């Protein structure tokens, strides 16, 4: 029995041993498998991977990607790095590897240039890389691991970008215009050389300085509002302002700003250019003074012609049918008076224009019945209207206004005579006086004339603006009337608006505050 049990024990131990050996085998197989898998990953990786052993940095492991990159074949495995690839000398790689080996610190670099001989040909590449210390089980550094990526294409692109940015900056710097770049809140962080030369300040000083320091006090508020408007709406900016130079003189500039946007249309920053227009402004001022002088000189004789014509008309009034050698004197004098009246109006417009620009247009405000003024104005126009267009007035509101009677009359004459002038088919003109919003009366002047294109509507209130060159010869005028009318009405707290359909007619609406 005892023998039997010994035999059993022996066979048990053998079985155990066999099982243990089998387990160890499978463990070894597993480890081999894992090792192979790692090797596969390392060797098939597109990253450049190598392990350098010992102080001599002997190439112990190098994957296909790094061998291809070095361009010396796999015979270099087992050789010290600096012997295998001597051209690396002096490019900084060796020093970094030794630093990792001696200090154990990880080194990381981006787009580091490296020249090497690939199959005998010199090649410049750029690398992103990690150098990592490799330690044994006791923690002692045995070598250095390299994981790198060849980023030459990306680095080339960056270099090209840097170069073109440099060229652009040089171009901007040497432009005679003053260029600034500002962030989305309007704070300028770049001023080109022209700015620095003009103000005598460095870029840093200009960046620190508030814009209001170099803008003329008279334009400060205006500039502030224009900038605010552009920043809130994202619309282009265009304004004229005087900018202080290094000698303490203000010079006129035309400033334009645009928002630069990203792909989805979000504003990234603002670029503005300021061009000096001092000489233009001076010339413009000279021309204006000349016009003012000429108009003044012309007005005196014309006014006296009008006086004599009126005198003759009143003398002839007693004998309306009087004829000198068959010429109907009264009718002809009437025509002369109309023409002189027109001429006086044109000359007065030019004089008013310079007055308004110099802020010299004075208003003599008094209370009067608006409807009466409209009636009178229309009577006068009817009297001198040789085209005999019919003008129909309807009053749904009777009201008083506190305004300059003469100036409001001038606006009415301008708008009603325009309605006649730009209605060559002489259709009727309707004038409606009605209540608008609270305390505002509107005078609507509607014609069925040539009409105005939609894109011209806002422009007709600009100084000297006349629609279409084809109208120039057809309809007499300077393009000042609506500008003046608009300024006059604005200064009375009102506004003028227009609605029109090209070819069908226009409706001008004058809105004014009324008293009762
Ligand atoms: P102008 O002296 O040329 O009439 P305005 O300033 O009074 O100058 O008007 C500016 C321009 O607006 C005119 O040249 C004309 O083209 C256009 N305009 C004004 N009123 C009318 C209207 N009732 N119908 C069509 N066009 C008009």
The closest of 342, 436, 440, 429 to 394, measured between CA atoms, is: 429
363-516 matches 278-361 in CATH topology? no
- Give the Å distances, CA to CA, from 267 to 79, 234, 445: 57, 8, 43
Q: Please say whether the dihedral angle defined by the alpha carbons of residues 446, 452, 453 and 454, taken in this order, is positive or negative.
A: negative
Per-residue model confidence as pLDDT tens digits over 388-444: 789 999 999 999 999 999 999 999 999 999 999 999 887 799 999 999 988 999 999
Q: Flag whether pLDDT at 194 surpasses 60.
A: yes
Fold of 278-361: Helix Hairpins (1.10.287)
113 — pLDDT class (breaks 50, 70, 90): very high
Q: What is the pLDDT of residue 434?
A: 96
What atom of ligand 1 comes closest to residue 478's alpha carbon?
Answer: 2
- Give the Å distances, CA to CA, from 8 to 11, 18, 22: 5, 15, 21
Average confidence (pLDDT) over 363-373: 95
Q: Flag whether pLDDT at 205 surpasses 60.
A: yes
> Under DSSP, is residue 289 helix (H, G, I), strand (E, B) or coil?
helix
> Under DSSP, is residue 94 helix (H, G, I), strand (E, B) or coil?
helix
Q: Does domain 45-138 have CATH number 3.30.450.20?
A: yes
Give nearest CA residue, ligand 1 atom 11. 466
Average confidence (pLDDT) over 344-353: 87
385 — pLDDT class (breaks 50, 70, 90): low
Class of domain 174-276: alpha beta
DSSP state letters, 147-214: EEEE-HHHHHHHHHHHHHHHHHHHHHHT-SSEEEEE-TTS-EEEE-HHHHHHH---HHHHHHS-GGGT
190 — pLDDT class (breaks 50, 70, 90): very high
Torsion angle in degrees (nearest 10) through CA of 174, 177, 183, 185: 160
Identify the H or E element spanning 226.
Answer: helix 217-233
What atom of ligand 1 comes closest to residue 349's alpha carbon?
Answer: 2
160 or 9, higher pLDDT: 160
Q: What is the pLDDT of residue 125?
A: 92
Contacts of 233 (CB under 8 A, 6+ apart): none
Lowest mean pLDDT among 231-245, 266-280, 373-387: 373-387
Q: Flag whether pLDDT at 27 surpasses 80.
A: yes
pTM greater than 0.75: no
Q: Flag whether pLDDT at 70 surpasses 70.
A: yes
Q: What is the pLDDT of residue 349?
A: 87
Q: Flag whether pLDDT at 230 surpasses 60.
A: yes
CA of 455 to the centre of ligand 1 (A): 14
Q: What is the pLDDT of residue 389?
A: 82
Lowest mean pLDDT among 203-207, 208-212, 401-405: 208-212
> Under DSSP, is residue 457 helix (H, G, I), strand (E, B) or coil?
coil
CA of 488 to the centre of ligand 1 (A): 17
Give nearest CA residue, ligand 1 atom 21. 418
Q: Where are the domains of the chain?
A: 1-40, 45-138, 174-276, 278-361, 363-516
Could you tell which of 416, 422, 502 is best to mutate to test the pocket of ligand 1, judged by most ligand atoms within 8 Å of the CB?
A: 422
Q: What is the pLDDT of residue 451?
A: 94
Q: Flag whether pLDDT at 470 surpasses 70.
A: no
Q: Flag whether pLDDT at 5 surpasses 90.
A: no
The closest of 46, 81, 87 to 63, measured between CA atoms, is: 46
266 — pLDDT class (breaks 50, 70, 90): very high
Provide the percentage of residues in the chain whose pLDDT is more than 90. 62
DSSP state of 104: -
Average pLDDT, the chain: 90
- The tokens describing 422, both together, are 């730009």
- Residues with CB under 6 Å of ligand 1 are 414, 418-419, 422, 447, 449-452, 460, 465-467, 471, 477-483, 506
The number of CA neighbours under 13 Å toward the Cβ of 338 is 15
| Gap between the Cα atoms of 185 and 280, Å rounded | 32
Provide the percentage of residues in the chain whose pLDDT is more than 70. 95
Enter the CATH code of domain 363-516: 3.30.565.10
| Gap between the Cα atoms of 167 and 156, Å rounded | 16
Per-residue model confidence as pLDDT tens digits over 267-325: 999 999 999 999 999 998 898 888 888 888 888 899 999 899 888 888 887 776 666 77
Q: Flag whether pLDDT at 226 surpasses 80.
A: yes
Q: What is the pLDDT of residue 387?
A: 62
Contacts of 201 (CB under 8 A, 6+ apart): 209, 246
DSSP state of 376: H
Torsion angle in degrees (nearest 10) through CA of 125, 131, 134, 139: 170
What atom of ligand 1 comes closest to residue 445's alpha carbon?
Answer: 23
Q: Flag whether pLDDT at 32 surpasses 90.
A: no
235 or 120, higher pLDDT: 235
CA of 479 to the centre of ligand 1 (A): 7
Lowest mean pLDDT among 33-42, 43-52, 72-81: 33-42
265 — pLDDT class (breaks 50, 70, 90): very high
Q: What is the pLDDT of residue 102?
A: 96
């Amino acid at each position: 029995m005892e023998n039997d049990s010994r035999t059993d024990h022996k066979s048990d131990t053998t079985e155990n041993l066999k099982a243990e050996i089998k387990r160890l085998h499978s463990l070894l197989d597993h480890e081999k498998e894992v090792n192979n898998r790692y090797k596969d990953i390392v060797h098939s990786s597109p990253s450049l991977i190598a392990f350098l052993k010992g102080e001599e940095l002997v190439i112990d492991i190098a994957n296909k990607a790094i061998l291809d990159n070095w361009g010396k074949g796999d015979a270099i495995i087992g050789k010290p790095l600096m012997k295998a690839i001597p051209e690396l000398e002096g490019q900084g790689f060796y020093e970094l590897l030794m630093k990792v080996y001696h200090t154990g610190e990880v080194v990381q670099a981006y787009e580091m240039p490296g020249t090497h001989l690939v199959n005998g040909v010199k090649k410049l590449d750029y690398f992103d890389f990690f150098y990592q210390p490799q330690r044994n089980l006791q923690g002692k550094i045995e070598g250095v691991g390299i994981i790198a990526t060849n980023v030459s294409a990306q680095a080339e692109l960056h270099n090209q970008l840097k170069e073109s940015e440099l060229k652009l900056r040089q171009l901007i710097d040497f432009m005679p215009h003053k260029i600034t770049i500002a962030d989305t809140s309007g704070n300028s962080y770049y001023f080109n050389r022209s700015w620095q030369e003009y103000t005598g300040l460095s870029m840093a000083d200009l960046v620190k300085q508030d814009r209001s320091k170099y803008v003329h006090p008279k334009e400060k508020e205006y500039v502030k509002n224009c900038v605010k408007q552009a920043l809130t709406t994202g619309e282009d900016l265009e304004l004229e302002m005087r900018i202080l130079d290094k000698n303490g003189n203000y010079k006129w500039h035309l400033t334009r700003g645009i928002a630069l946007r990203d792909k989805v249309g979000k504003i990234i920053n603002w670029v503005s250019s300021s061009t000096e227009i001092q000489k233009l402004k001076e010339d413009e001022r000279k021309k204006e003074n000349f016009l003012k002088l000429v108009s003044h000189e012309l007005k005196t004789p014309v006014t006296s012609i009008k006086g004599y014509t009126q005198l003759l008309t009143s003398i002839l009034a007693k004998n309306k049918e009087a004829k000198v050698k068959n010429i109907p004197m009264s009718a002809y004098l009437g025509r002369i008076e109309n023409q002189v009246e027109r001429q006086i109006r044109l000359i007065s417009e030019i004089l008013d224009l310079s007055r308004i620009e110099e802020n010299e247009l004075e208003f003599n405000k008094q209370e009067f019945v608006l409807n009466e003024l409209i009636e009178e104005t229309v009577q006068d126009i009817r009297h001198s209207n040789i085209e005999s267009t019919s003008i129909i007035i309807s009053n749904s509101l009777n009201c008083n206004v506190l305004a300059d009677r003469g100036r409001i009359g001038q606006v009415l004459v301008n708008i009603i005579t325009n309605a006649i002038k730009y209605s060559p088919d002489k259709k009727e003109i309707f004038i409606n006086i009605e209540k608008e919003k609270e305390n505002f009366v509107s005078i609507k002047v509607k014609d069925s004339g040539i009409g105005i294109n939609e894109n011209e509507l806002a422009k007709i209130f600009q100084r000297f603006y006349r629609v279409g060159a084809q109208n120039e010869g057809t309809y007499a005028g300077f393009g000042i009337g609506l500008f003046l009318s608009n300024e006059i009405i604005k200064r009375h707290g009102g506004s003028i608006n227009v609605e029109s359909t090209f070819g069908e007619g226009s409706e001008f609406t004058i809105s004014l505050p009324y008293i009762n």
